[in-house]
Chains A and B, each alone.
Chain A
């Protein structure tokens, strides 16, 4: 009696584990297939885009020019803000340091 109960338990466990592992293996297969199908096509596309952009775009300006452009744009924004009566600028805010 006790032998048959043990046998039933073991067989149920083996069936359960087999089903779970088969499911997992199938999932791995599906995921690897998805990566293969989508990634395989995207890589050459990106390369083409970069090449085309490089051939059409003008040369990258030096870093100083970029900085000056940012300064000019920010100054213009501040000027507009000043005209509108906004005196508090965004960005740096001074706070008192707490001293113990």
Chain B
């Protein structure tokens, strides 16, 4: 036996592994899906991926590290062509080893989940395997960013891969993300629907179980890369700084459209919106402002009656926790009439969600900048400015901060004067008495700013708060 014989054998084996099972690969392609290896090739910089534990055969998962846009990233890609990528002790060991290495070296982890569930042969043992993997993910989140691309079926307990990640992406026509298998869910709902209709990307977006959706796998990988560019490699680092837009650019937004204002404030008008179809009264973005990667929260006064409901509160709480984990400054643009009046059976849920948002605002240790650009009534001001303890708070001159909207306040406090002075005149006087200038005088805002200069002031605040401890 020659010296190079073992190496030769290993090369042959590696080739066999790389080629995979042709019939199963064809089946995957027929479903309009990439294989795990194709996903890895599409995501990493050319020839940069190093596979770890490749010889641990039949684990149904490919783990390793490589460079994505020249930054180190770890990948865990479930390979459904091998044993249905079912969770087993072997698979769990490989995943946990990879996560452990990511923790030690401080680099993000991306999951490509595509699994048929758990190994029937191991049965109860897989419960331990799942538990250990999910514990490792939970412990890593907050140290290194974890993003999951739900690239196939991810049903039952496996759905927690997406839930425990910091950000998850669903793909139209590919993702099936459900707490049970389609067969069980279909039966429970007594409806004849397939997995994609019951738990596809559209459902995930609407119910907030995935932060982003993509039309196909290529778009999903592009979004994954955009997200990673906005996040630090680990909690020890700051997110990459990219100076690409005029820091003294003035705005034209008038505050009637929260989306327009938000996208005008960010660099080059580009931002990644998280949970765009969930809790639509609030926008949550990851974006650069003045080159700094930030979490941007913006009210949309023209949607959901300009009020906060339990979904929008939860959505805000999520991005605040994400920002706090990864040292991203939080910029809040506020124009909300406070909490929505809920149906009787939903009042508990609304209060709990509002509490989650307040707690997340209060506990976030990152720089917090608030801009009241419209009404900041009741809970919206309490949470976003007061409870948050904004490091710097700005207000537009014509904004209004009060405990009640002008319509309600006039009805509640000045009903007897309506006949004599007129409802509109009273409302106008109330708005004037609580406008931006008046509330700044009360010390409820640090500075009254011109709407057109909002971006400049936010950037100046980010510059100043860069060294916040």
Contacts and interface: CB of A to CB of B under 8 A. Distances in A.
B459 A87 contact: no
Contact of B456 (A64, A68, A71, A94): A94
Nearest to B291: A96
A95 B463 CA distance: 9
B437 interface: yes
A68 B440 CA distance: 13
Contacts of B453: 89, 91-92
A5 B452 CA distance: 86
Interface size class of B (residues with CB under 8 A): 20 to 34
B466 A88 contact: no
B437 A94 contact: no
B90 to A, nearest CB: 49
A18 interface: no
Contact of B248 (A82, A93, A97): A93
B452 A78 contact: yes
B290 interface: yes
A91 B466 CA distance: 23
Contact of B450 (A67, A74, A94): A74
A47 interface: no
Interface in B424-461: 432, 437-438, 450, 452-453, 456-457, 459-460
Interface in B377-429: 397
A33 B438 CA distance: 53
A71 B450 CA distance: 8
Contacts of B432: 64
Contact of A94 (B248, B252, B466, B467): B248
B464 A97 contact: yes
B264 to A, nearest CB: 13
A96 B466 CA distance: 11
A88 B250 contact: yes
Interface string A34-62: 00000000000000000000000000000
Interface residues of A, number: 19
B197 to A, nearest CB: 49
A88 B437 contact: no
Nearest to B243: A96
B290 A71 contact: no
Given A94-B248, A97-B466, A89 B437 contact: no
B247 interface: yes
B397 A92 contact: no
Contacts of B250: 87-89
Given A87-B250, A93-B248, A64 B452 contact: no
A68 B450 contact: no
B397 A94 contact: no
B290 A94 contact: yes
B248 A88 contact: yes
A82 B464 CA distance: 29
A89 B449 CA distance: 13
A94 B438 contact: no
B449 to A, nearest CB: 8
A64 B448 CA distance: 13
A78 B451 CA distance: 11
Interface in A61-100: 64, 67-68, 71, 74-75, 78, 82, 87-89, 91-97, 99
Contacts of A93: 248, 456
A64 B442 CA distance: 13
B460 A71 contact: no
A95 B467 CA distance: 16
A71 B463 contact: no
Interface in B110-151: none
A64 B247 contact: no
A60 B453 CA distance: 31
Contacts of B464: 97
B437 A97 contact: no
A82 B463 CA distance: 28
A97 B290 CA distance: 12
A71 to B, nearest CB: 5
A70 to B, nearest CB: 10
B463 A89 contact: no
Given A67-B397, A71-B437, A89-B450, 18 more contacts: A64-B432, A64-B438, A68-B437, A78-B450, A87-B249, A88-B250, A89-B453, A91-B453, A92-B457, A92-B460, A93-B456, A94-B248, A94-B456, A94-B459, A94-B463, A95-B463, A97-B463, A99-B466
Closest 8 CB pairs of A and B: A94-B247, A94-B460, A97-B463, A94-B456, A71-B397, A67-B437, A94-B459, A94-B248
Interface of A: 64, 67-68, 71, 74-75, 78, 82, 87-89, 91-97, 99
26 contacts: A64-B437, A64-B438, A67-B397, A67-B437, A68-B437, A71-B437, A75-B450, A78-B452, A82-B252, A87-B250, A89-B250, A89-B450, A89-B452, A89-B453, A91-B453, A92-B453, A92-B456, A93-B248, A93-B456, A94-B247, A94-B248, A94-B290, A94-B459, A94-B463, A96-B247, A97-B464
